[in-house]
Chain A
Amino acid sequence: MINNTVIARPARAEAIQNPKELLDCFVNTREDFPIFSKKIRGYPLAYLDSAATTQKPNCVINTLTNTYSNTNANIHRGVHYLSEEATAQYEKARQTVQRFINAKSSKECVFVRGTTEAINLVAHSFGQMCIRENDEIIISALEHHSNIVPWQLLCQRTGAKLKVIPMNTQGELLVEVLEQLITPKTKLLAITHISNALGTINPIAEMIQFAHNFGIPVLIDGAQSAPHLKIDVQALDCDFFTFSSHKTYGPTGIGVLYAKEHWLEKMPPYQGGGEMILKVTLNESLYNDIPYKFEAGTPAIAETIALGTALDYLMTIGLEKISAYETYLLKEAELALSSIPGLKIIGTAKHKAASIAFLLDDIHPHDIGSIVDQKGVAIRTGHHCAMPIMDFFGISSTARASFGIYNNLQDIEQLVNALYEVKKIFQGKK
Chain B
Amino acid sequence: MMDNNTVISSADIRSLYQELIIDHGTQPRNCCSMSCADCKGEGYNPLCGDQISLFIKFKFDEANPSFEKSEENQMSAIIGQVTFQGKGCAISTASASLLTEAVLDKTIHQAIEFSKAFLDSVTIKSDENAPNLGKLTALAGVIDFPARIKCATLAWHALLSALKSHCEAKQLNTEKDIYADI
Give the complex CA separation of A40 and B8 in angstroms. 5
Known: A39-B8, A42-B7, A367-B89. A382 touches B49 (CB 8 A): yes
Instruction: Return the CB mask of A376-393 against B: 1 if under 8 Å, else 0.
Output: 000001110000001000
User: B13, A370: Cβ atoms under 8 Å?
Assistant: yes
Query: Which B55-80 residues sit within 8 Å CB-CB of chain A?
Result: none
Q: Separation in Å of the B4 CB from the closest CB of chain A?
A: 4
- With A374-B10, A429-B27 already in contact, the answer to whether A37 and B4 are too (CB < 8 A) is yes
Whether B49 lies near A383 (C-beta < 8 A) is yes
Asked if A426 is at the interface (CB within 8 A of a chain B CB), the reply is yes
Q: Which of A34, A382, A396 contacts B4 (CB 8 A)?
A: A34
Interface bits A393-430 vs B (CB < 8 Å: 1, else 0): 00011000000000000000000000000000111011
- Give the secondary structure class of B's interface: mixed
Select from chain A the residue with minimum beta-carbon distance to B151: A366
The answer to whether A382 and B48 touch (CB under 8 A), given A396-B87, A427-B22, A430-B27, is yes
B139 within 8 A of A: no
Chain A residues, CB < 8 A from B171: none
Which of A41, A364, A383, A426 contacts B10, CB < 8 Å? A41
Q: Does A38 contact B (CB under 8 A)?
A: yes
Name the one of A37, A42, A425, A430 contacting B13, with C-beta atoms under 8 angstroms. A425
Does chain B have a CB within 8 A of A371? yes
- The reply to whether the CB of A133 lies closer than 8 angstroms to some CB of chain B is no
Q: Which of B1-40 contact A (CB under 8 A)?
A: 4, 6-10, 13-14, 16-17, 22-23, 25-27
Closest to B142 in A: A370
Residue A363, interface by CB 8 Å: yes
Question: B interface, how many residues as a size bin?
Answer: 20 to 34
Chain B residues with CB under 8 Å of A374's CB are 10, 13
A426 touches B13 (CB 8 A): no
A265 within 8 A of B: no
Interface of chain A: mostly helix, strand, loop or mixed: mixed
Per the bound structure, the CA–CA distance linking A39 and B14 in Å amounts to: 20
Is A362's CB within 8 Å of the partner chain B? yes
Across the interface, B48 reaches (CB within 8 A) one of A38, A366, A371, A425, namely A366
Interface residues of B in 113-158 (CB under 8 A from A): 145, 147-148, 151
Residues of A within 8 A of B7 (CB): 39, 42
Give bound CA distance, A364 to B17, whole Å: 13
Chain B residues within 8 Å of A38, by CB? 4, 6, 8
A362 and B26 contact, Cβ closer than 8 Å, known pairs A367-B89, A396-B87: yes
Given pairs A370-B13, A396-B51, 15 additional interface contacts (CB within 8 A): A34-B4, A38-B4, A38-B8, A39-B7, A41-B9, A42-B9, A362-B26, A364-B89, A366-B151, A370-B147, A371-B13, A396-B48, A396-B50, A397-B49, A429-B26
Q: List 15 A-B contacts (CB under 8 A).
A: A39-B7, A41-B8, A41-B9, A42-B9, A365-B89, A367-B89, A367-B91, A382-B49, A396-B49, A396-B87, A397-B49, A425-B14, A425-B17, A429-B23, A430-B26
Q: Measuring CB to CB, which residues of chain A are less than 8 angstroms from any residue of chain B?
A: 34, 37-42, 362-367, 370-371, 374, 381-383, 390, 396-397, 425-427, 429-430
- A-B residue pairs, 7 tightest by C-beta: A364-B89, A396-B49, A41-B10, A366-B89, A430-B26, A429-B26, A374-B13
**Interface positions of B (Cβ within 8 A of A):** 4, 6-10, 13-14, 16-17, 22-23, 25-27, 47-51, 87-91, 93, 145, 147-148, 151
